[in-house]
Structures are given as C-alpha cells and as structure tokens.
Chain A
C-alpha cells in the first residue's frame, strides 16, 4: 500500500503543489490540506509522513515560520510528539524547516527553540543554486531521507531568512550527535564563504536531522530538482535529479 503523506499548508505556503507532485511521483498517496482543515477534520496519526513545504506562512510577518510554529504548538503539540515517536517521518523544507526549529521539533523534539534561521548576511532574498555536502553514508549521521546519496549534491535555495544560528554549545551538541545533514560547500566540497554559503549559516549548516534520523529540516528545495531540466546547466551536461530521491527515500521507508 502506498504510504500516506500529509502536505500541510497554510496562508502563504507556496511550494505545496510541487512538494505534493514530488511525493506523488515518488509513489506516495498524497493529501494536501490547509492547517484549518486538519484542525477541524483529521488526525495526524492517519498519515505516515508529514511534510511542511516552503513559502511565506502568514507572510513571515513576525519572523519566518513564526505564526505557523505557534499554531502547530497550540493545536498539535501532543499529536506531533506522538506521531514522531510512533515512527512517522517528517520533512520541513525552507519555511517548513523554519517552522520545525521554531517549534523546537528540531533538533531535539523537546518543543524548546534552541536554534534559529535568521536574516541572510546579504540582507536580501536570494534564489541561487548551491553545492551541498551530504553528511550521510560515510559519516555516522543517521538520516533515512538521504540514504544512498552521493557526497555532493546540487539544490537551489530561495529565501531571505536562512542563516542557521545557535549558541556554540548547541552547535557543538548538534555536531556531536551527528545531526548536521547538509552543509553548504564550494564546487570542490570545501567550506567556503558567500555565495557558496548563501546566507552566512554558522558552520555552513543547510539542514539538520533529529536523533532518530526521521525528522529532517533543510533550507534548500529538493522539490525543485525532480526533473533534469530544473538544473540550470542541463543544456550542457546531464545531472541526475537527486531531489526526487529524497521523496523516494521517504516513501521506500514504509515499503
């Protein structure tokens, strides 16, 4: 049976349709719902995977993902905890990642905000392709979403508030627990400054995973690389669209 994916949207979510498309292409049964609908009509435990897509939830008017994270906490705190503990998968992309850290679901599922994603060092919104180092197969990072990935992949980022920031102790803990899933690097795979690290993220962190390896948050957009033509250089050279594989990994986990 196809795993059921809930794609949770709200006012200002804008990557929901393509995220749904990517999951469907990967073989999932998808359900795209407004948070108000879930609040009134559905239970989170009806799904195997919950995805929070990118966008500007409530305009990011009080900070990126702030009001969405408040609503998740107010309305679904208990259910979300149970969902993850029962073995559900979660992925938060861009604005979804911002919501996951602001609810405190990432990094430790204790509903305490420890890290943040704040304004880019450049002071502006930017849409650009990045090189990302995958901290998965060789390292000890447990992340079902990045299973069987090459060491370096390409995804685009498109955000104004993507700078990963936390106190040193928190950063050290995340590293020690092998929770850094993706880092911005240059073409050769080395840590580098702007524009390779597009937002000034501390320790070049682009995505983190929880300790179970099932809850994944990332600023780059894998749903924007599920066809070869989405890569800017495809007329010159072909590159496998590794974004699709993220969604496939999520689906395969339940097959």
Chain B
C-alpha cells in the first residue's frame, strides 16, 4: 500500500525565490507559488503507523504540520497544482535516508519516493507548464507526476526496474565490413574509430570468436578519451605557419603529454615529488608525518545538461580521486573554478536544447556547495569567469587536496588479493559516461538520459570514514575509485600488471534488471574498489558495518594477465591485459597559424574614473564573495588565509592558505591561473600567463617556487579539427617552456576535449582554456601575507615591468577595442621577481601583497583599498614601464609578473635592497583619507574615487545572485 504525506509550514507563505525567478522570465508580474514536501511511503502500515512515522521523522512540530492519504493522489489535483518527482533510476539521497530512519523505528519498508508539491496562484495552466519546465525541474532527472497514470498505481515497484534473465550477447565482428564496424561503434555509443574497430576485429579473429558485448564495452571504456587520453598520448603531425601562411615549423609529436608536461617534470626532477602522473593524483612532500596530494577534474558535459547533478558528481568524483590515491588520502580542501556564459541573455535568444546560463550558474554553485559542505571539506578557493562561448558548454573544474601518511603513497597488489567493492549500490546511472565525453554534444546525445546523475554526499562521507579507518589499520594495500567506466576501468586498471577474476552477480544492486554488462560499466557514484588480503576481511567488515557502508567481495587477483568476468558461473569476458592496455596510436593533424599582433593606439583622456568603475563592475572582476560564502570554507579548522577576507570579508584572496595538520606549523597555499581570452591571440602565451598567474598568487602570500607544484587542466574543442589541435599543441609547448624555466613541476593533470556544441547551424567551440592550479608548502603559517593595506603612511611599491600589452585585456574587452599585444612573460625577470619577493616576505619586509591581473595596476590598487578601508595615492610616473606609454596603458595593461606591495617606512631600505636590480618603483603611499587617487606623469589627477564609490560599482553586478 502506498501512503502519501504532504508536509507544510503551519503558516504557509509563498516562495520568494521562485516568485523572483518567475519575474525574471518576464512572463507574469504578480503570482504566488506555495511549496510543500511530499513523501510516498509503501509498506504495510496502519493509519496510526503513518501518523507515528510522520510525527517522528517528517515534520518539525514547532513549525510544520501535515496531511496524509492512501495512494499517490487523494483526489484529482486542481489545474494549479503539480507534484514533481525523480525519474526512474535516479538515486534520491533523501529517500535512502528516509528508509534508514523508518527502519530505525523498527518498521519494514518496501519503497519510498520524495516529491515536491507546488500550488500556483495568479497563473494560467499553460504558464504553469512553461514555468515548471524552465525553472522547477529538469526532464533529464525529474518529471511531473501524471494524475491519470499515478492515481491508478498501487505499488511504487515500477519505479525500480524489472527482471533480468541471463543471456550471453555476442557482437558479430568477424563478418563485419568497415561500414558494419562503424555502425556497431555508433549504435553501441562506443566512440571507437574505424581504425580502432579494425584492430579489435583482428584481435578476435586471432581468438577465432566474436566478442561479447561486455568485452567490446570494456575495450571502448579503456580506450576512451576519458580513460586513455588518446589525443595527448597519440601521434600528432604538427605544423606551424606565420601570419602570411608560410610554414615555419613541422614536427611529429609521438606523445604530447610525454614530450611537454611530463617532460618538464622529468627534467626538473624535484626531490619534493613523491608520486607524479601515475596515480589518481600527484603526491608531494609535506612534513615529517604526511605528504599531500592534489587533483583537479572537470565535469563540463554533465553540468551543461543537469547543472546541480553534474557539479555535485564532479566534486564527488575528484574527492574519490584523492581517496583513491596510493593507499588513500584524507581530503582536506577543495577548489572550484567555473566558466559560464553571461547571464543576461533573454530566454527567447537561447538556442533550443540549452539551459539558461542563470540556471546553470545557480545549479552548479548549489551542486558544489551541497556536496562539498556535506563532505566536510572546506572549499577554499575558486574563480568564476564569463564569456559568450561558454553558453552551450560551461566549464566546471573541481579540485581536491589530500593529506596522506608517509609510506602510503604507493599501491601494492599481490596474487590472491580479494577484490572488494564498497559504498553505494549499483544502478543504471551514467551508463556510457566514459564514451560520452569523447563525443561532441548534439541533440541526440542530450537525449541519452542515462548519462546524468545526482550525487549522494553522505554516502561518500561514510565511505571516506570507513576507508580511512581501514587504511590506518593497514587492512588494504591498493585502492582506486569508480569513476568513468565504473568497475570496468577501476578493477582493470588496478589489476593491470597481474590479472583478475570478477563475479558480477555479487555486485549489490539498487534494483533488479541490470544485465552483466550494465553492472560492469555502470557509473553509479560513491563507490570505491580496493584489494585486500583474505585474513583482513573480518576486520574490514567490522569497520564498514559500524560505518553503515556496504562492502562486498566481488573477485580476486590471479596472475594470468587476463581480465575474466563471470555472471552466475557463465564466462562473459576474457581479455588479455596487454591488449587492453596497448592502445592503438592514432595519428592526428595539427596546425597553428599565427594571428599576428599590433599595437593599438589609444587616445589619452583626462580622467579615468568612469573606466575604473566599469572594470570593477565587469563580471570577471566584480565581487564574488556570495559564491565563496555559500561554501563552508572553514570546516576542518585549518584556515590561515581564507578565500574571502578584509573589511566585511568580501574581498577574494590571491591564494588561500590552510593547515591540513593542526599538529604542524606548516601550511599549504593554493593559487589558480586561468585566462582563456588570451587563447584567441596565442595559446602559447595563454599557457605561460596561466602559469605566471598561478605562481603570482602563491608568491603573494609568501610561498617560494622551490616548494611549489602545478596541475594542468586543458579544456579544449574538438581535436579532430586540426586548428583546434594546433592551438592545443601550442599551449602545451608554452606549459613546458615555463614550467621548466621556473623549475615548478607539473604533478598531475587532466584534459577535457570535445567542448563544443552544435545547435541547428550554429557551432560553438569554447576558447581553449588551460587552468593551472598551484600548490605550495610553506614552513610557518605565521610568515604569510594578506593583500589588504595595513596602515596609513605605509609605502606602496609596484614590482614588475609594465608594457603596452592590452590584447584581450579586460579593458579592451569591456570597451570593445580590437587588436593589441598579448602579454608576454619575460621568464628571466619573472623568476627573479618571484624569488626575491618571496624572500622579502619571508624576511617580514612586506605587510601586504597583491598581484596585478585582470584590470591591471589600477584594479589591483582599488581592491587593496576596498579590502582595507584605507585610501591610496599613486603616481604613475614611478611605475616601472616601457617608453612612451599612454596613461590608459599604464593604468590597465595586463603585463604579467607584477605586484602591488605595501611596505612599512622603516623597512624601506631593506626591501629595496632585497629587490635590487629588478623593476621596482615606489609609486605612492597608503592614506587615511578613504579615497583612491592616481596622478599622471604631469601630476594631473586621473582617478579620484572614494572607497564607498569603488565598492558600489564592485558589488552591484551580482546583486540578483546575493
């Protein structure tokens, strides 16, 4: 029997947030929407039982009341009432918690579902339908309960899948011609090319049999772009042409990753690196007891379809990468970086099939917030960028850092080890996620509902606690996460050097009806796989039981170099490990054509107050404390310099600093560099500038280059397009050159390709985007510096050389000025500046330090004024600069490796001595008057703005999100 319970406040008030969103749509002026929570509970309960369950679990007696009845609907709903519930197979964390609580009350429970009831006033039926579709639910995961169908239902079983009877499926490859091979790949969503299909056909020809569906899926997963990074590891014929289309360079790259990113790390050969590029994250030294590890992932495609689910499973996935590093690390901090389209686009201008940017922005932030906060991992740093081309394809980068005990950084697998799966049960979630990321999105892909998932943070939190307890008792020696490809990639990769047998019927399922192949490739979230000795099983079971986490032995390691799968004693897969991991090397063409650069002459104005205010209000610069404040950035109690700081805590730090081990004085700084706009001029310099920016940010707080490490995350368009690939290669060259020169090694990275979208005839590729994430180890938390001015009359220095490098700058983009030079990193000077400034901070000669980035010198000084409540007087003539620059260029150029530094008068000589020989100018001082003043070479006042006025421009932009 199904019972429905509606829970609502004693005094019902219409939802303010939904009303304001409806207003945004421009449809209706005045309407009211009332919201109730709906619970469907199926089981053998009396009315008394339901009242007891409801009052014990579902209501807050101080503020809420409820109604209940049998069936999904008591009576036919009015036309202004709807109930929204999840689609079949979408995991609902609330339902799982409810089931646990009902069992706590000693009742049996058959099924539960959760819904949301909405009642609308002042809206017509068709308006309700339109609003519901645009605002209230996403058909990929939810639906409006249909009265005619649902009122007849007497069980919720149909929500839970059907029966499955085993039948082995084979795919006829041996008799397939090329056209047929391609059809097999396409129909099965395998994303395998003809060349790859031919290689697979040959393999099975040798075996004199056809592959099973499961074998084909396994190969497709492990050869997918997501798991194998075939573009970065493949062969690339690269050609470079100058702007007159003359060929200036031709070369064959056999493995882009090994010949750029990893090559840099090998050449630097830092003794601080423990484990780089061969595990789920990169591990470096921290203190005498622990190492730290860091990984950044992207979850772009899923976030474009279901922002909340996509972002939450993004952060959930990267946390599991940390849990799956070595013998498991404890996650201690997260970072999140988003690239969105501007949110002012009207609903009418939105191409079909795309979600409105506002919905994506809110959904993504909420997804990261809910998952990260529930996990108890502080989200300590982030960035949000806006650009039109991210409309069809937002970028969602999620990163996590972990703390790992010494000697736990490596895995060890032995014959006979048990293969253990723990965490959530397996369902049809995300089947084909791995191959999905190899495909450019089109409307048909969007219809592939099963690729969209929702995260359950509490399950992952439980898994984390159980695993870390087991780790500390040395109960296992190898672990990895179930990510893209699910068990198929996790188990196979972990057992790669040995061989493994898996019994698929043992895998605990969410609901019946999954085939052996679905079990094997399911991407259900919150699962980990580890290998343990048989004698430790009992102890493991004890821990996992106490933590309420499922743990199941699903196979064992056998030294035969084969992957063998069984379902109820039927062999469904037998592949040679060597074949699976010997990827075909595909050849791709890449071309880079130089775009050329030119200096754009700017007219000098008498006053730049207006320009500064426009820049402060521009989306990429404006105050974003509202995002960071929704993240619990202080849990685990280690924060030293927080993501938001200064007056009213609304300024955003250059880098965040935390103490992951409260027993130790050492701390960790995290800084980010990302600026896709430069890619349009030259991706080589875009990469150099991303590295420069990430390093600037950590140097600002006092870090030194020798204990700084970086991560690369490339998000790019289709590598099938030779110009896109050419740009990617050029960016990778830049990454190599500057990592090597600075001696700052890459320790981990990831690429996400095919970030493109086609709607009708409109093709959108994102600008090539490299995120560089830097992590530094600092010896003493006391010796760190924040970016706000500390005291009036302190001296203000500009460090670094300013050139007329305005191409793709905030100034040019805001004022629609074309052309210009891309900023170029002078690596010799840059390295010295980084070293000397860091040492000046270590010697306590600096009281505040802030880098000049978007908006240049002027925005940097304005930010320091706003964060401190103190004013500043600045003289442009004292800024170290190229000859003949106009005022706008000195004010707003985005030349790299520059800082604004505050120094006490008494430390003047020492500071100048420390930075001797470098481009350093004493440009002004901190003033008591709450005003920022900038004087031109001829002492004319170019900018004169009160701090309140600056703040007003800077904080008004995101008013509707606050």
Contact = CB atoms under 8 A, between A and B. Distances in A.
Contacts of B548: 11, 36
A125 B632 contact: yes
6 A-B pairs with the lowest CB-CB distances in the bound complex, closest first: A14-B376, A61-B97, A18-B637, A116-B62, A59-B458, A61-B94
A15 B61 CA distance: 27
A232 B790 contact: no
A166 B60 CA distance: 11
A151 interface: no
A4 to B, nearest CB: 20
Nearest to B662: A21
Given A118-B60, A229-B659, A229-B781, 9 more contacts: A15-B637, A21-B637, A54-B635, A61-B98, A116-B62, A158-B635, A221-B634, A226-B637, A229-B640
Contacts of B63: 116, 118, 165
B462 A11 contact: yes
A11 B637 contact: no
B61 A113 contact: yes
B56 interface: yes
A169 to B, nearest CB: 12
B323 to A, nearest CB: 15
B16 interface: yes
Contact of A158 (B60, B98, B634): B634
B117 interface: no
Interface of B: 16-17, 56-58, 60-63, 93-94, 96-98, 100-101, 104-105, 369, 373-376, 456-458, 461-462, 465, 545-548, 629-637, 639-642, 644-645, 649, 659, 662, 781-782, 784-786, 788, 790
B93 A11 contact: no
Contacts of B640: 229
B374 A59 contact: yes
B634 A230 contact: yes
Contacts of A255: none
Interface in A19-47: 21-22, 34, 36-37, 40
B104 A17 contact: no
25 contacts: A11-B547, A12-B374, A12-B461, A12-B462, A18-B637, A37-B546, A58-B100, A59-B94, A59-B374, A59-B458, A61-B96, A61-B458, A62-B94, A66-B57, A66-B60, A66-B101, A67-B97, A71-B104, A116-B60, A129-B649, A156-B634, A165-B62, A167-B62, A223-B637, A232-B642
A67 B100 contact: yes
A12 B635 CA distance: 13
Contacts of A56: 373-374, 457-458
A126 interface: yes
Given A18-B637, A37-B546, A235-B790, A67 B94 contact: no
Contact of A62 (B101, B461, B632, B636): B101
B634 A61 contact: no
Interface of A: 11-15, 17-18, 21-22, 34, 36-37, 40, 54-56, 58-59, 61-63, 66-67, 70-71, 74, 102, 113-116, 118, 123-129, 156, 158, 165-167, 221, 223-224, 226-227, 229-230, 232, 235-236
A11 B786 CA distance: 36
B943 to A, nearest CB: 25
A46 B662 CA distance: 28
Nearest to B640: A229
A158 B93 contact: no
Given A36-B546, A118-B63, A62 B58 contact: yes
Contacts of B630: 124-127
A14 B635 contact: yes
Contacts of B784: 235
Given A66-B57, A70-B56, A34 B93 contact: no
Contacts of A232: 642, 644-645, 649
A222 to B, nearest CB: 10
Nearest to A11: B462
A244 to B, nearest CB: 11
A40 B547 CA distance: 13
